[in-house]
Amino acid sequence: MLDLYTAILIVIIYAMLEIFEIIKTSKGDNLYEYILNNIKVYRLSYLKFLFNHISFIYLLFIIFMFEFYQTSIILAAICKFLDIATKLYFVNKIDYLEHIKPYLREIKLTLLIKSINPMIYILLFSFGIYSIAKYS
């Protein structure tokens, strides 16, 4: 059983973790600087790179600990996984980035662009938790 107050607390914790990720990992004014910051963190430590995505770990904990297999929660986890996998793909393709560096420098990243994915994850997670709380 999941009451509404517990559901709200779970969603608030998840939203705070996503905001922490935006602040922690979204350094850089353009796409090239953003990718370089991810490369620096990845080269320091794999675990530090993983713990910069602490909301993904929290999301997996919520899914498996409480057995919340709601479609929107699973979709949020898949999207979050694909986001991390895309970052790892670009981290491992640093040699190819040199060829397209001028183009990547032209792509400006505003706060809105940096926070679209976390907003989508929070909404999907909220819908799933709300439906679990409503029907339990």
d(CA 40, CA 97): 15
Dump pLDDT digits (tens) for 43-69: 999 899 989 999 999 999 999 999 999
Q: Tell me phi and psi for residue 30, to 5 degrees.
A: -130, 175
Give residue 60's domain range. 4-135
d(CA 102, CA 60): 37
d(CA 91, CA 86): 9
| Number of structural domains found in the chain | 1
Q: Tell me phi and psi for residue 103, to 5 degrees.
A: -75, -40
- pLDDT reading at 136 higher than 80: no
